[in-house]
């Protein structure tokens, strides 16, 4: 597409207006991806793919219409415009519909690693093998590696609308994964490890492999624990998963529809003063960063919780207009085949000052949680949750034995308020980040 995009966009926007649209927006994406997978120490598959396409949104009479195509010929553009306008007639009127205005300032970010293309396929396959080797060497109980792999991709996008917005950005990513199997006395457990980043030079086979090895053996010999009220210490991955579950509660759309337990609580203390939660699409070298969102609004740093006080919600253009505010740059698009929706960028809990060892050492009896099950059943409106969980029993400030078959139940509003310690070990998993946290007096069901 390259330099031809501006001409393509100009033509598309003109055709939309000529055919009756009040406003129009073109969103073009070009993707390239590589996936390598190794099974049982043998190269199992190599997948390479490329795709590109354009999504068109129009507003006609306060109704939105959408269509998309992978065909960039003039005749296909005519058909796409016609289809989008026709589709608008089937939607309800929405007076708050707006396309983005050009932001006064866009962040300048370098999110593309040119060096990635200078490394051979063999080198990338070797990285996947290295991850498997690190997992095998982690512990003698790691018996085999079910699979390991390497993946990379780059994404280039252009966006233009009838408000004069014309933007371009490019980024890439790479990642390693490993699935290890641990065994002891006939019992087997699996452990998954991963590491991802933007620059290939920062990709760590050791991090991915050791994570898989550790998770493969830490639950061997686990058994239930007696029911009771006890403290929980969540490892960073579990903290990130919990925060991911409640991310939808910060959606301006959910708040407007009263489908969030945080609705109407701006300025109130809704969580422990230990918690500061941030969404920041401007962080350097992070997978969730960008110069603009899927609507053309500049990415920004938004503090959601500050010392437990609810400061802000996340908005796209539509929800912001309805709420009488401005977009926070969180109108996200996963593909040219869909319209924008509110989503997070780099969403993370700010690190605290205590080490994980200090958090664990402060627990007389509790659980170090390493896995949760059934997260999808949580209710973001009421905040109620009930998870299956496994982890390690903590007794007198030290790890005792692995436990599983337990259930953790409660309400997110109460859980957030009961956080009594935040670790200094912030880790990002993709675009979500979290440290270890300690939560006081949570109901745990076991035997």
pLDDT attached to residue 10: 87
pLDDT attached to residue 41: 83
Domains of the chain by residue range: 114-151+170-217, 222-447
Domain 114-151+170-217: which CATH number of 1.25.40.10, 3.30.365.10, 3.30.2290.10, 3.40.50.300: 3.30.2290.10
Q: Is 80 exceeded by the pLDDT of residue 376?
A: no
Report yes or no on whether pTM surpasses 0.75: yes
Q: Is 90 exceeded by the pLDDT of residue 426?
A: yes
3-state secondary structure the chain: CCCHHHHHHHHHHHHHHHCCCCEEEEEEEEEEEEEEEEECCEEEEEEEEEEEEEEEEEEECCEEEEEEECCCCHHHHHHHHHHHHHHHCCCCCCCCCCCCCCCCCCCCCCCCCHHHHHCCHHHHHHHHHHHHHHHHHHCCCEEEEEEEEEEEEEEEEEEEECCCCEEEEEEEEEEEEEEEEEEECCEEEEEEEEEEECCHHHCCHHHHHHHHHHHHHCCCCCECCCCEEEEEEECHHHHHHHHHHHHHHHEHHHHHCCCCCCCCCCCCECCCCCCCEEEECCCCCCCCCCCECCCCCECCEEEEEECCEECCCECCHHHHHHHCCCCCCCEECCCCCCCCEECCCCEEECCCCECHHHHHHCCCEEEEEEEEECHHHCCCCCCEEEEEEEEEEEECCEEEEEEEEEEEEEEHHHHHHCEEEEECCCEEECCEEECCEEEEEEEEECC
State pLDDT tens for residues 30-60.
Answer: 999 999 999 988 999 999 999 999 999 999 9
State pLDDT tens for residues 237-276.
Answer: 999 999 999 999 999 999 999 999 999 999 999 999 999 9
State pLDDT tens for residues 118-151.
Answer: 999 999 999 999 999 999 999 999 999 999 999 9
Q: Is 90 exceeded by the pLDDT of residue 381?
A: no
pLDDT attached to residue 52: 94
């Amino acid at each position: 597409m390259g330099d031809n995009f501006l001409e393509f966009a100009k033509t598309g926007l003109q055709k939309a207006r000529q055919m009756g649209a009040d406003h129009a927006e073109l969103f073009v994406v070009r993707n390239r991806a590589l996936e390598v997978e190794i099974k049982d120490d043998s190269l199992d598959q190599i997948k390479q793919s490329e795709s590109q396409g354009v999504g068109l949104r129009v507003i006609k009479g306060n109704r939105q219409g959408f269509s998309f195509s992978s065909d960039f010929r003039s005749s296909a553009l005519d058909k796409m415009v016609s289809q989008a306008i026709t589709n608008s007639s089937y939607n309800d009127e929405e007076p708050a519909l707006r396309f983005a205005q050009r932001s006064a300032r866009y962040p300048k970010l370098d999110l593309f690693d040119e060096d990635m293309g200078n490394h051979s396929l063999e080198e990338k396959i070797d990285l996947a093998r290295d991850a498997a080797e690190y997992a095998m060497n982690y512990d003698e109980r790691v018996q085999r590696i079910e699979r390991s792999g390497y993946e990379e991709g780059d994404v280039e996008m252009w966006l233009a609308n009838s408000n004069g917005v014309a933007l371009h950005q490019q980024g890439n990513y790479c990642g390693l994964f490993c699935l290890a199997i641990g065994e002891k006395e006939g019992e087997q457990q699996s452990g998954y490890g991963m590491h991802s980043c933007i620059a290939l030079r920062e990709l760590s086979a050791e991090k991915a492999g050791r994570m898989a090895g550790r998770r493969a053996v830490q639950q061997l010999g686990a058994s239930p624990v007696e029911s009771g009220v006890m403290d929980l210490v969540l490892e960073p991955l579990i903290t990130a998963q919990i925060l991911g579950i409640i991310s939808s509660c910060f959606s301006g759309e959910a708040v407007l529809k009263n489908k969030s337990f945080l609705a109407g609580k701006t300025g109130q203390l809704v969580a422990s003063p230990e918690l500061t939660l941030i969404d920041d699409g401007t962080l350097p070298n992070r997978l969730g960063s960008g110069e603009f969102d899927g609507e053309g609004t500049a990415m920004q740093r938004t503090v959601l919780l500050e010392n437990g006080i609810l400061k802000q919600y996340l908005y796209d253009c539509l929800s912001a207009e309805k709420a009488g505010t401005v977009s926070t740059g969180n109108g996200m698009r996963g593909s040219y085949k869909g319209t924008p929706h509110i989503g997070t960028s780099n969403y993370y809990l700010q690190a605290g000052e205590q080490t994980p060892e200090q958090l664990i050492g402060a627990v007389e009896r509790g659980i170090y949680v390493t896995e949760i099950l059934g997260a999808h059943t949580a209710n973001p409106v009421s905040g109620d949750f009930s998870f299956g969980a496994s982890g390690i029993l903590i007794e007198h400030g030290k790890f005792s034995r692995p436990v599983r078959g337990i259930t953790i139940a409660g309400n997110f509003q109460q859980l957030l308020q009961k956080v009594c310690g935040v670790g200094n070990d912030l880790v990002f998993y993709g675009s979500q980040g979290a440290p270890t946290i300690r939560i006081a007096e949570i109901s745990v069901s076991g035997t």
